[in-house]
Amino acid sequence: MTTKQRYTHIIDWFTKNMPVAETELHYTDPFGLLVAVILSAQCTDKRVNMITPRLLADFPTPEAMAATNHEVIFEYIKSISYPNNKAKHLVGMAQKLVSDFNGVMPDDVAMLQTLPGVGRKTANVIASVVFNKPTMAVDTHVFRISERLGLTTNSKNPLQTEQELVKYIPADLIPKAHHWLILHGRYVCLARKPKCEECGITEWCRFYKLNQ
């Protein structure tokens, strides 16, 4: 089986079996999503969704968050991982959005990465989810699943994985494919013990073939 054939079969399966694939982070606008994604680093979406309603009710806009300080934000997010750093990132991100972008979320990945707390993965998430751009965010799930399935070969880092995935996945499907891989990794292809008996794509999975 060629790499292209593997991609075709797996994409076809997800298209038919997971026609709706979206982020599990709760948000109502681009700013809310960016706040949630920054908070989600090394933390579960479930925990983030418990925290963001109160935080965003009191600081619903970049202007509102920019006007406070990280000590105040810390009190809202202290039950999350790395709350001190994330509080500083959130305030810094809001201040730069206001000062450099008039409070409007940029749709360019490079510009997004100028915001404090926003790396390539986060920028790709915003560009993909908010602006439907063909950007592939690679988190731990996407990195692991891509290698296991055989969509990538010996990727050394998330950037290599991203470059290989966008090479083979049609541009119009990339935003959805990001969620296919995340959700598959979150609920089926678990890190420690993948649920191969529940998986619908074992026929094209390199990991499954090697472990039979």
User: Residue 78: CB partners within 8 Å, gap ≥ 6?
Assistant: none
Inter-residue contact 103 to 96 (CB < 8 Å): no
Inter-residue contact 77 to 39 (CB < 8 Å): yes
As annotated, the binding site includes: 189, 196, 199, 205
Active site residue 209: no
Catalytic residue among 4, 86, 133, 139: 139
Active site residue 121: yes
Catalytic residue among 4, 12, 58, 121: 121
Q: What is the DSSP string of 48-99?
A: HHHHHHHHHHHS-SHHHHHTS-HHHHHHHHTTSSSHHHHHHHHHHHHHHHHH
The residues annotated as belonging to the active site are 121, 139
